[in-house]
Amino acid sequence: MAIVSNTVSYLDGEVVLDAFFAFDDSFSGRRPAVLINHAWGGRDGFVAEKAKKIAQLGYVGFALDMYGKGIIGSGPEENAKLMQPFMADRGMLQKRIKAAFDTVKLMPWVDHAKIAAIGFCFGGLCVLDLARTGADLKGVVSFHGLLGGPDNIKDKAIKAKILALHGYDDPLAPHEQVIAFEQEMTTAGADWQLHIYGNTKHAFTNPVANDPGFGTVYQADADRRSWIAMENFLTEIFA
């Protein structure tokens, strides 16, 4: 196994974006691809490592960029400022992630009929929104994602299968939001699953998350279990 990684620039209008991708060059031919959407801080080392882990599973891992080439938040205050315009304009968010989806389909190693997307925190919301647009992808996985639906999409069928991985004690996606999400997915006719991990807060996959007051705490068991759930889900949808 030889994991090859690099970066690629792409555009959303005039905004230059910079993705990190990885694949196993011991495999020949085209293979499925998995978009990986970063949390509120931008495309960092966390999602780059996830792209490499995805490559080890035999897929192309494509860690996309929502903010622009070289733009990384320095902490919670700046991260919030970077994220807020997309939360306020979900149409802009959906257009931005669709640019990544369109880019990965053109990569020479990718089977464009077999694409999925995963996302963490803010990234979970982004990949769910990609599915909400009716995009023709196999499935999406939200890790401790924000679950609130957008105002600009109503009564649109969701083609992608949905897996939401959620901490029961996540203050950023409270129980009312979870119930609304379940109802939304059902109304949209989606094939959806929701896995809830007990005694688990937000950002449970991030080993440096340690702010109980804010609600972000790493939880090793939920981290391990959620990754296994994702692996099984990808195996199913790419069969």
pTM, whole model, 2 decimals?
Answer: 0.97
How confident is the model at residue 154, as a pLDDT?
84
Backbone angles phi, psi at 14, to 5 degrees: -100, 0
Residue 34: strand, helix, or coil: strand
> Domains in the chain and their CATH numbers?
3-237 (3.40.50.1820)
Query: What is the per-residue pLDDT across 103-148, written as a single tens digit (0 to 9) for each?
Result: 999 999 999 999 999 999 999 999 999 999 999 999 999 999 999 9
Given a cut of 90, whether residue 17 has pLDDT beyond it is yes
| Beta-carbon-side half-sphere exposure of residue 113 (alpha carbons within 13 Å) | 2
How confident is the model at residue 63, as a pLDDT?
98
High-pLDDT (> 90) share of the chain, %: 97
Query: What is the per-residue pLDDT across 166-192, written as a single tens digit (0 to 9) for each?
Result: 999 999 999 999 999 999 999 999 999
Mean pLDDT of the chain: 97
206 residue type, one letter: N
